[in-house]
Amino acid sequence: MGRIVGIDLGTTNSLVAYIDAQTGQPKCIPGPYGSTLCPSVVSIDADGSIIVGEPAKRRLLTQPERTIYSVKRLMGRGPGDVQDELKLFPFRIDPSSKNVIRVRLGQKVFTPPEISAFVLRELKNWAEAFFGETVDRAVVTVPAYFNDAQRQATKDAGKIAGLEVLRLVNEPTAAALAYGLHEKQRGRVAVYDLGGGTFDISVLKLISTSEGDIYQVLSTNGDTHLGGDDIDNLLQAFVHERILQHNQIDFSPHGELAQELRKALINVKHQLSEADTATLRFSLPNGKVFAHEFTRGAFEALVKPVVDRTMGPVKQALSDAQLKPSDMDEVVLVGGATRTPLIRHTVQEYFDRKPHRELNPDEVVALGAAVQANILDRGVKNMLLLDVTPLSLGIETYGGAVAKVIPRNSTIPASAQELYTTGVDNQTGIEIHVLQGERELAKDCRSLARFTLKVPPAPAGLPRIEVKFLIDANGILQVGAKDLRTGEQHFIEVQPSYGISDTEIERMLEESIEYAEQDFAERQLIEARTEAESILTATAKALTNPQAASLSAEERSRIDASVAALKESVAGSDYKLIRKRIDELNQATEHLAELLMSCAVSTALEGRKLAEV
């Protein structure tokens, strides 16, 4: 078995963390660019190879058509759900999308879980490079307010990436775990988590018992389509409008220029977290520069609607937990967007308490995921997490109404049994429609699954079928049925309304392995080029050494030819050819190396002699 990690699969950035064996503390793993943040951006090259993270993010500006970001917004959703997103995000939905969304990236078409899987695989690579061992299992975090379909899609992404997802943990709960370990907090804690694309609020109770610490979630609420992205969208719309007014330029909201503007505005937003004013300077295609000074006040007035939208869920979560703001002992801020001073002040004012933000708000969720991964891996028995289901589970009844069978904020795992019978003689099937949500009518709730219970022919009302709905510790639904007259158990294959079938996942897994091989070729190329660069530098330096003068003319010209050939191969993308030319240059410089070596050795010996004297 390989190693286990904790992964925060974020809208904007993703991170991977582990528990340091020496200190017992969770730590994030840096990637090849030194940062622990892997931008959740995926790009496809003309030759079909996949690029993930920082280099993909740079391609947002140069190849927006071949690059996708914020794909988490599409996870577990149907084409009908995302019309609003399409106005704001450059998602190119393929016409082949039926139940499951398919997005176009270059010449290819992918489902959101496949794109998320590229990000997960990248993080897996980071961790494997770091440990020098395989990583095959993970705890992955999800927004607490994610529904069944969104959770299932996240689990599917893990599978496609070649990771066994041992548990999905809610992001605010993970953050509470990391803080609890850090500060040994007790009492009631509110976690306010505003990420790139999702908002969660969770109310927890931290209890010390003789066996260990229990993190009991009392209630959770949120909005899976509210985050820092929305602040950026407001800023972007504001500036678009200005540019249109003053310069009569109306550029496509998703083109390269828009991406560049978005990047500049995010920079302005970051500056305004520290400074009182920040100026946007943006070069327009007509050669003019659009400049606009934002004061913090004007910025805050602009983004206030986003902050206000978070307060509804906050109040609901407290009321569900039957608590008042003043009942909270601690408040924790999580997510990059909580760096915005307006958010900090709003939260502080509401709870009348200075919120904690000692841990890096970008990293804290991944750190908590690593803590839970460690608990599951080693059976560490001094901590227990009791989470809840964010949405009520219901069944459609007569007239399109919904009967709730598991209320929201029930501790998971949770279950409910319902008894079904037939209405007419010899009826062979009973239709069951499972929903998630708080509204009273089925059409206003989220459809999770529809299936038909098979019933042996019998007079009406005689069959007695018990259907068991079970929400597991990941917040994912399982359904089973039992014929109470025969005691026969049925396993029900529930095809989620917006999910991917198991066979499709198998196919995606196979394809992703092909991509992994492409990725492998790409890594080989990078490594070969790096090695070529260093051997070329070393050769050039060696040739300036006085010892090089003793090379024969033939030897010298062979070296020069090999250097030229290697340089030529580095410009191409055939890593095998580069390797071959490296070997050739190594052979050509064998004598030169010997000359230098003997010189170095004699110098070393002389040195030693001198030292000995």
Partner 1 sequence: MSTVPTSVQAPLVCWNCHERTLGTHFCSSCGKLLQLPPGIDYFALFEMPRNLWIEMGALEQKFLQLSWKLHPDNFVNASEQERELSLKRSSELNDAYRTLRDPIARVEYLLAIEGERKEGETKQQAPPELLEEVFELNESLDELREAKASGEDLAELKSRLEAAEKNFQEKLHDVDGELQATAREWDAALTGDSLTRKKIMARLNDLLNRRSYIRNLVTNVAKELAEV
| Binding-site ranges for partner 1 (CB under 8 A) | 166-167, 207, 209, 211-212, 214, 216, 375-377, 379, 381, 384-386, 407, 410-416, 419, 470-473
| 1 vs 291, beta carbon nearer partner 1 | 1
Angle ∠(245,247,249) on CA atoms, nearest 5:
90
- Residue 170: which of 126, 200, 212, 127 has the closest Cα? 200
| 472 vs 584, beta carbon nearer partner 1 | 472
Nearest-angstrom CA–CA distance, 215 and 379: 16
Burial class (CB in 10 A: 0-12, 13-18, 19+), 366: buried
| 99 vs 410, beta carbon nearer partner 1 | 410
Question: For 518-521, which contacts have Cβ atoms below 8 Å and span 24 or more sequence positions?
Answer: 518/48, 518/49, 518/50, 519/49, 519/50, 519/121, 519/125, 521/49, 521/575
Distances in Å between the Cα of 342 and the Cα atoms of 247, 262, 303, 337, 484 are 31, 21, 9, 10, 58
- Torsion angles phi and psi, residue 248, rounded to 5: 55, 35
| 83 vs 209, beta carbon nearer partner 1 | 209
| 439 vs 507, beta carbon nearer partner 1 | 439
| Smallest distance, partner 1 to C-beta of residue 326, A | 21
| Smallest distance, partner 1 to C-beta of residue 217, A | 12
| Smallest distance, partner 1 to C-beta of residue 523, A | 32
Catalytic (active site) residue 193? yes
Burial class (CB in 10 A: 0-12, 13-18, 19+), 410: middle
Nearest-angstrom CA–CA distance, 506 and 504: 5
Tokens 């500056």 sit on residue: 271
Nearest-angstrom CA–CA distance, 372 and 365: 11
Catalytic (active site) residue 156? no
Nearest-angstrom CA–CA distance, 226 and 247: 31
- Residue 78: which of 18, 147, 131, 32 has the closest Cα? 147
Nearest-angstrom CA–CA distance, 143 and 489: 34
| Smallest distance, partner 1 to C-beta of residue 221, A | 18
- One-letter-per-residue 3-state SS of 191-226: EEEECCCCEEEEEEEEEECCCCEEEEEEEEEEECCC
CB 213 within 8 A of CB 239: no
CB 542 within 8 A of CB 548: yes
Instruction: List, in sequence order, every residue forming a beta bridge with 4; answer none if it has no partner.
Output: 137
| Smallest distance, partner 1 to C-beta of residue 473, A | 5
User: What does DSSP say about strands 489-491 and 477-483: parallel, antiparallel, or unpaired?
Assistant: antiparallel
Strand segments, DSSP code E, in 397-544 are 402-406, 414-420, 429-436, 446-454, 465-471, 477-483, 489-491
| Smallest distance, partner 1 to C-beta of residue 418, A | 8
Catalytic (active site) residue 72? yes
| 116 vs 409, beta carbon nearer partner 1 | 409
Catalytic (active site) residue 606? no
Which of 85, 148, 156, 171 is catalytic? The answer is 171
Tokens 């070729």 sit on residue: 521
| 378 vs 541, beta carbon nearer partner 1 | 378
Tokens 């509204």 sit on residue: 439
| 134 vs 411, beta carbon nearer partner 1 | 411
DSSP H or E stretch at residue 246: helix 228-247
| 243 vs 453, beta carbon nearer partner 1 | 453
Which of 85, 193, 232, 363 is catalytic? The answer is 193
- Residue 260: which of 288, 280, 278 has the closest Cα? 280
Number of neighbours of residue 250 by Cβ within 10 angstroms:
10
| 383 vs 509, beta carbon nearer partner 1 | 383
- Torsion angles phi and psi, residue 523, rounded to 5: -65, -40
Name the residues annotated as catalytic.
Answer: 8, 72, 171, 193
